[in-house]
Amino acid sequence: MEDDSNCVDGNLNSNAAQINIADSVIMGNITQQTFIQNNPEDIAKAMAAVLGNLGFVGNDNQSAISNQNVSGIVNVLKASKFMISSGMKIEGSTELKLGNAARLTGRLSTAKDHYERAVNTFRAESNRNCEADALINIGLMALNQGDVGQAYPALQTAQAIKLELGEESGEANALLGLANLNLSLKELDEAEQLFKRALDIKQRNNDENGKAIALSGLGNIYELNKDFSSAQTHYREALVTKRKLGDIQGEAVILANLSNIATVLGDLGEAQRLTRESLELKREIGDRRGESFALASKAEQAQERGDFSEAELLYKTSIKLKGKLGDKRGQADTLNALGALLEQQDRFKDAEVNFTKSLAIMRNLCDLEGEAMAMFNIGNTYLYRGQDQIAKEHFKSSIIATKTAKDYEGHSLALIQLAAIAERLNQTEKRHSLLTEAAAILTQNGLAVEGWLAENGY
> Per-residue pLDDT tens for 271-280?
889 988 888 8
Question: How many residues are present in the chain?
Answer: 458
User: Which of the two residues, 34 and 275, has the higher pLDDT score?
Assistant: 275
Domain-wise residue ranges, the chain: 1-166
Q: With pLDDT > 70 as the criterion, what percentage of the chain qualifies? A: 83
Q: 81, 96, 73, 85: which is closest to 22 by C-alpha?
A: 73
Residue 99 pLDDT: 84
DSSP code of residue 63:
S
Q: What kind of fold does domain 1-166 have according to CATH?
A: 1.25.40
pLDDT digit string, tens, across residues 376-404: 999 999 999 999 999 999 999 999 999 98
Assess whether pLDDT exceeds 50 at residue 2: no
Residue 340 pLDDT: 94
For helices 348-364 and 328-344, angle between their N-to-C axes, nearest 10 degrees: 160
Assess whether pLDDT exceeds 70 at residue 42: no
Give CA–CA dist 41/89, Å, rounded.
Answer: 9
Mean pLDDT of 171-198: 92
Give CA–CA dist 278/85, Å, rounded.
Answer: 40
Which residues contact residue 108 at a Cβ distance below 8 angstroms, ignoring those fewer than 6 apart?
Answer: 102, 141, 145, 325, 326
Give CA–CA dist 458/455, Å, rounded.
Answer: 8
- The alpha carbons of the chain give a radius of gyration, in whole angstroms, of 25
Residue 369 pLDDT grade (very low, low, confident, very high; cuts 50, 70, 90): confident
Residue 420 pLDDT: 93
Give CA–CA dist 448/455, Å, rounded.
Answer: 13
Residue 83 pLDDT: 75
Contact yes or no for 413/376 (Cβ under 8 A): yes
Q: If phi over 0 gives left and psi between -120 and 50 gives alpha, with beta otherwise, what is residue 84?
A: alpha
Q: How many CB atoms lie within 10 A of CB 375?
A: 28
Least confident of 83-92, 208-217, 431-440: 83-92
Instruction: Read off the pTM.
Output: 0.57
Q: 329, 316, 265, 322: which is closest to 293 by C-alpha?
A: 322
Which H or E run includes 426? none
Q: How many CB atoms lie within 10 A of CB 50?
A: 25
Residue 35 pLDDT: 39
Q: What are phi and psi of 359, to 5 degrees?
A: -60, -45
Residue 88 pLDDT grade (very low, low, confident, very high; cuts 50, 70, 90): confident
pLDDT digit string, tens, across residues 152-174: 999 999 999 999 999 998 999 99
CA distances from 158 to 8, 125, 184 (A): 18, 16, 19
Q: If phi over 0 gives left and psi between -120 and 50 gives alpha, with beta otherwise, what is residue 386?
A: left
Contact yes or no for 244/238 (Cβ under 8 A): no
